[in-house]
Amino acid sequence: MTVSEALQQRKSVRAYLDQPVEPTKITAILDAASHSPSGVNTQPWQVAVISGETKKRLQTKLEDTFRSGDKGKAEYDYYPKEWAEPFTSRRKECGLLMYKTLNIERGDRKRQTNQWAANYRAFDAPVMLLFFMDKRMQAGSFMDYGMFLQSVMLSAVEQGLATCPQASLADYPEIIKQELGYSNDNILLCGMALGYEDKNAVVNSYRTSREDSDSFTQYFK
C-alpha cells in the first residue's frame, strides 16, 4: 500500500464490527506514529487506549452526562466563534450528508440526539483512543499533534483497521481525567474510534467532498 492509497482509503467510520482489535496491531500503529515530526523533537503526545470494561464504564458516564443536558466544554476552542464562508457551507454540507444518508429529518430531534450520543461511545468501536498533552505546551504542539493523529489514522489503514477522529470526546475532560487518573496538568485534545469497519452499515456509505488542490494552492516562480 502506498501513502497515496492510504490517504484516499482513510475515512471517518461511524459503525464497527463487534470484533476485538489485536493488541499487537494497536502497538504497531502507535510505534509507527511515534516517528511523526515535532518541533525540537518534543513528542508531546500522550495516548490512552481504552477497551473492555473500562470503555463500557467510561462511555456510559459520558453518554449519560450528554443526555442529561450537560453539553460539556473542551479545554480549548476547536471551532471559530463566528463562522464565515467557505467554512460555513462545508460544515453544513458535512452534517446534511450524514443525516441524508441515515434518513434523519431536520425536525427529528430524537434521532439526531441518538446519533450524536453515539460519539460518546466512540460509535461502539471496540477501542477508544484518547489524546492528552501537557498544558505547558503551546500552539506549535497542536500542529505537531495533528501530524501524529494523521500518522495514527494512516497506520490504522495499513493494519486493515478503520478510525474516526473525534473532537467530541474532549467535551467532558473532568469526567475522563477522573475516570482514568490523569491530572489537570494535561489537556484532553480529542479522541478516536478504532476498530474493524462494518462495511454493511449505511452510515459508512457516504464520503465527504474534497477541493481540488488548485483551489487552495498558488505557485510562485
Each residue's pLDDT tens digit, 140-166? 999 999 999 999 999 999 999 999 999
Alpha-helical segments (H) within 68-206: 87-101, 109-117, 139-158, 173-180
Q: Quick one: pLDDT at residue 145?
A: 98
Q: Under DSSP, is residue 121 helix (H, G, I), strand (E, B) or coil?
A: helix
Q: Quick one: pLDDT at residue 106?
A: 84
Q: Quick one: pLDDT at residue 19?
A: 97
Q: Quick one: pLDDT at residue 107?
A: 87
Domain coordinates in residue numbering, the chain: 11-78+120-206
CA distances from 16 to 31, 49, 73 (A): 23, 17, 27
Q: Which residues of the chain have pLDDT under 70?
A: none
Q: In the structure grid, which three cell numbers stand for residue 137, read together?
A: 505546551
Q: What's the rounded Cα separation, in Å, for the pair 34 and 51?
A: 21
Q: What's the rounded Cα separation, in Å, for the pair 88 and 78?
A: 15
Q: Quick one: pLDDT at residue 103?
A: 92
Contacts of 197 (CB under 8 A, 6+ apart): 13, 15, 16, 17, 162, 204
Q: Quick one: pLDDT at residue 212?
A: 95
Within 10 angstroms of residue 198's Cβ, the number of other Cβ atoms is 20
Q: Quick one: pLDDT at residue 172?
A: 98
Asked if 180 and 69 count as a contact pair (C-beta separation under 8 A), the reply is: no
Q: What's the rounded Cα separation, in Å, for the pair 21 and 119?
A: 19
Please identify, in words, the CATH class of the domain defined by 11-78+120-206: alpha beta
Backbone angles phi, psi at 10, to 5 degrees: -65, 135
